Structure 1
């Protein structure tokens, strides 16, 4: 079983692959298109033996899946599941489907955990997929409603599940929304970070913690699933 990639050639060449069981924090300022970056990574790194679980605290599950479909992915063939933490908070009655499981709200960490576990069981045990992504977008929304100790315990369970399943976890955090102690506490759970910073009117990214020294900064732009990188 091989490792994982980001589906971004410039960074993948520098990293030489991402080992199984890796958990990464993606941290950057608002408006830096972290949502699109996360979706593009999932889109570009999917393989026939792969699957992905996306916990969405920002958009309904249908909209999350719609992005992949709009960009040419066949949802009938792709093994992507969404834990939707939004729809029920809007007071909308919506049943679970094969690809969307609903939690009552971003506060409901127990319910979110149950839905994640159902997808893990389905993808790894029933379908016997060899690769699995777990993506939470975003931890910052969850932290708005729960204290850091509660979120840390929740994350400790699922970063551990990712390691045990030889998976790859990506967790989005809004920079500047949290104090230094909160970020330092969260970092304990991760193997490294995708850091994002503003560069003039654009944004740049680098990967920290997976190699002996951080990768260079790359300014990036996103068009659908296509990422263009330029070294800064």
Structure 2
């Protein structure tokens, strides 16, 4: 975890290229959220596909404690039940539909602004661009992600964004990756980091 985060030092936005179903994805995702000081870290999950209880549970196990605050913005109807086992986020809200990019952007900005005013460290997991692209075209997603990555930088937050490269054309992946400070590729457990 330390080596991964050291190689990403100074990157506010990271593109995480990994198959949607891959061993080690959850561990790397949690490592990217840098749970080395849980009591002073706020974690925001933006989820299109699942409830993040499992990842929060992994985060707590690896960090040895809960984050200062765990907030979830769910776009659409995530898989799983809110009553499933696992630790609960401190707050969870649902944005109308997965294509409501304005609503998602506003809520992310409001949460990060609130945390920034409190002087807390903020980290974000966006899961996933692949799911987002099922609801909007590439250009719309690009514009939305451009705004979102800019807000991460403005609020001093760091975030990573999941993308399954096998689900998209090389042209789409190349277009999306121009938005990010760094890119991580996970291939059968091997992690490669590239700075932009």
Taking structure 2 as the reference length, the TM-score comes to 0.81
**Bigger radius of gyration:** 1
Q: Distance in 1 between matches of 2:178 and 2:156?
A: 19
Alpha-carbon RMSD across the aligned residues, in angstroms, is 2.8
Query: Alignment partner for residue 106 of structure 1, among 95, 98, 105?
Result: 98
Distance in 2 separating the partners of 1:173 and 1:88: 17
Provide the residue aligned with 1:182 in structure 2. Answer: 172
Q: Which residue of 2 aligns with 1:216?
A: none
Kept in 1: contact 2:32–2:160 (CA 8 A): no
Q: How does 1:1-232 map to 2 (within 5 A)?
A: 8-12=1-5, 15=7, 18-19=9-10, 22-32=12-22, 33-42=24-33, 44-62=35-53, 64-68=55-59, 74-75=65-66, 78-87=68-77, 98-125=90-117, 127-129=118-120, 131-198=121-188, 203-209=189-195
Higher relative contact order (CA 8 A, sep 6+): 2
- Which runs of 5 or more structure 2 residues have no equivalent in the other structure? 83-88
TM-score (norm 1): 0.69
Gaps of 5+ in 1: 1-7, 211-232
User: In the alignment, is the contact (CA less than 8 A) between 1:61 and 1:83 conserved in 2?
Assistant: no
Q: How many Å apart are 1:175 and its aligned residue?
A: 1.6
How far, CA to CA, are the matches of 1:11 and 1:62 in structure 2? Answer: 24
